[in-house]
Amino acid sequence: MTHSAVTDLLLDTLAAYPGTPDAASLTLPPDAYTDPGLFKLEKETIFKREWLLIGRENDIPDPGDWFTFQILDEPLLIVRGTDGAVRALSNICRHRYMPIAIDGKGSDKRFVCAYHGWVYSTDGRLVAAPLMEGSLAFEKESCKLPEYRIEIWQGFIFVNLDDNAPSLAPQLHEADAMLSNYKTHELVTGFSYDTIWEGNWKLATENGMEFYHHMGLHAVTLEADMPARLGRMDPAPASGRFTHTRCGYSPEALDKPQGFGHQPRPGCTFTELEETTAYAIGLFPNISLAMSTATNNWLSFIPMGPERTRVIGGFVVAPEMAADAEVMAASNELVHAVNEEDGQATWRLQQVMRSARAAPGPLNVREGTCAQFYKYLGRTLAGDRIPGLQAAE
C-alpha cells in the first residue's frame, strides 16, 4: 500500500514503540491524531478486524429486545431472538436498502421495513414480502439479513466485522483471571452514556488508561478519593491484548460509610488489594473498564472520523447497589461530571494537534499503559516494519 509522506513517517515512528522500554517512551506525534492516511489504515486494520464493545447483554434481557449501532459504514441491529440467542444483524432491508429498525432501541417479535413493508423475524429470516408475485428475481430464502460475528464476554457484547477473525475469549484469558473475583458478568446497568467527543479516538482511549490525570483534570471530582500519587502500573500481560493499572483509595475515601471500601458483594471474596484500589483495564483497541469491587464504569470509543469519536458506556453495578436510588443518583452525577471533564480535555487536546510547535513529550511512569497502547498500535499498524515480528507470529 502506498502512503503519503506523513503517514509513512508515522508508521516508522509506530514501528519503534515495541522495542522501546515503557519508561523511555514518548507520546504519539501530533499527526497521529489528525492524519487521514493513518485513520484510513486504522479503519481497515483495526476497526474492520478487531472485536469492538457495543453494549451489555443484560440491556436486552427479553426475547425481542433490540438496539441499533453503527460501526464505520456498517449499520447493525443487535437483537435477542425469540430463541434467546443474541445476534448482530445487518440493519439494511434486502429489498431497497432502507434501515429496518429506525429507532435506537425497542422490543419486537417482528421487524417491518418502513419503506415497503417487508417483514423479518428476530433471527433475520424474511417472513413476508408484500405483492412480490411475478418477480423472477425474488427468492424468499435468499433474503435473510446477513449476520456479523458476536460474542459475549464478562456480560459485555462484542461484535467483529471480520467473518474470519479469531474468537475473542481465548485472547482475553489473562483478563478473565484478573477479573475472576469481580464477577463482572453479574453486574447490572445502573445508567448508560452515549455522546460525541470532538477529538481523535486514540486521545479518548489514552485518557481512560491512566490515573495520573486525576491530579489535574479531575482535581475536584476524583483526586481526593483516588489521588494520582497512589497510581501504580500492573505488569504487562504476555498476550499484549490489554493493559492495566491500579490507584489506591485515600484513607478518607476508605473511611466513608458509602465509600469505595464499603461496597459489599454477597457471594464475592476480594483480596485486600482489590478492596483498597480502583482497577482499570484498557482492552485494545479502544475500551476502558474502570472498576471497584461493586462497580464497573465502562467506555468504548468508536471513531466517526479522524477528529470525532462516539463515546458509549455504562455504569454497571452489583444488583444490591442498583436498588439504592440515593447511591445511584450520586453515582450518576459524579460519573457524568467526570466524563464531561474527559470529553472537554479530548476536545482541547485535539485543537492543538496542528501546531507547528506541538511535539511528543515524555510519559510519566504511571502512564506506562499508554506506552503499551502505542506498542499495540505499532504491532497492528506497522508490523511489517518491525524486524522479526512476522516470523515470531
User: How much is the average pLDDT of 141-159?
Assistant: 98
Contact in structure between 187 and 296 (CB atoms under 8 Å): yes
pLDDT range class, residue 260, cuts 50, 70, 90:
low
What pLDDT is attached to residue 388?
A: 79
> Does the structure show a pLDDT above 90 at 301?
yes
What pLDDT is attached to residue 393?
A: 47
> Does the structure show a pLDDT above 80 at 390?
no
The Cα-based distances of 262 to 77, 250, 273 in angstroms read 39, 13, 14
User: How much is the average pLDDT of 80-90?
Assistant: 98
Residues sharing a CB contact under 8 Å with residue 351, sequence separation 6 or more, in sequence order:
none
> Does the structure show a pLDDT above 90 at 262?
no
User: What percent of the chain has pLDDT above 70?
Assistant: 97
pLDDT range class, residue 255, cuts 50, 70, 90:
confident
Mean predicted lDDT score pLDDT of the chain: 95
Closest CA to 28 of 40, 15, 46, 44: 15
Lowest-confidence region among 18-22, 74-78, 318-322, 346-350: 318-322
Domains of the chain: 5-50+174-392 (3.90.380.10), 53-156 (2.102.10.10)
pLDDT tens, residue by residue, 353-374:
999 999 999 999 999 999 999 9
> Does the structure show a pLDDT above 50 at 275?
yes
Contact in structure between 43 and 303 (CB atoms under 8 Å): yes
The Cα-based distances of 259 to 183, 191, 226, 349 in angstroms read 20, 19, 11, 32
What nine digits make up the cell of 373? 497502547
What pLDDT is attached to residue 391?
A: 40
pTM of the model: 0.95
> Does the structure show a pLDDT above 60 at 392?
no
What pLDDT is attached to residue 48?
A: 98
> Does the structure show a pLDDT above 90 at 264?
no
> Does the structure show a pLDDT above 70 at 241?
yes
In terms of residues, how long is the chain? Answer: 393
What pLDDT is attached to residue 258?
A: 63
What pLDDT is attached to residue 103?
A: 87
Contact in structure between 122 and 64 (CB atoms under 8 Å): yes
Cα–Cα dist 78/75, whole Å: 10
Which residues of the chain form beta strands (DSSP E)? 52-56, 65-71, 74-80, 86-90, 105-107, 110-112, 119-121, 126-128, 147-153, 156-160, 188-197, 231-233, 242-248, 277-283, 287-291, 295-305, 308-317
pLDDT tens, residue by residue, 89-135:
999 999 999 999 998 999 999 999 999 999 999 999 999 999 999 99
Cα–Cα dist 179/212, whole Å: 23
User: How much is the average pLDDT of 79-89?
Assistant: 98
| 52: helix, strand or coil | strand
